Chain A
Amino acid sequence: MDNENLTSPALWVDQYADKLYNFALKKVFSEQLAEDLVQETFLSALQARANFKGESSELTWLISILKNKVVDSFRKEKLSIIDTPEDDFFKENGHWKSKPIPIAFEEVNPLEKKELNKVLAQCLSKLPNLWKVVFSLKYMDDSSAEEICAQLDITKANYWVIIHRSKLNLRACLQKKWL
Chain B
Amino acid sequence: MGWIKENRNDCKSATFLIEKQQVTALTFSEKIKLKVHLYGCSWCETYGRQSKSMHLIIANFFNQTLTKPKVLQEDFKNKLKILITDKLKEN
Given A43-B87, A96-B43, A160-B20, A107-B57 contact (CB < 8 Å): yes
The reply on A33 being an interface residue by CB < 8 A is: no
Interface size on A, residues (CB 8 A): 52
CA distance A14 to B74 in the complex (A): 10
**Docked complex Cα distance between A163 and B83 (Å):** 39
Q: Does A168 reach chain B (CB closer than 8 Å)?
A: yes
CB-contact partner of B24 in A90, A124, A139, A145, under 8 A? A145
Size of B's binding interface in residues, CB under 8 A: 46
Q: Is the CB of B15 within 8 A of A93?
A: no
State A94–B87 Cα separation when bound (angstroms).
56
B54 touching A135, Cβ below 8 Å: no
Contact for B57 among A26, A106, A136, CB less than 8 A: A106
Q: Interface on B for A, CB 8 Å cutoff? A: 6, 9-13, 15-16, 19-20, 23-24, 43-44, 46-47, 49-51, 53-54, 56-66, 69-72, 76-77, 80-81, 83-85, 87-88, 91
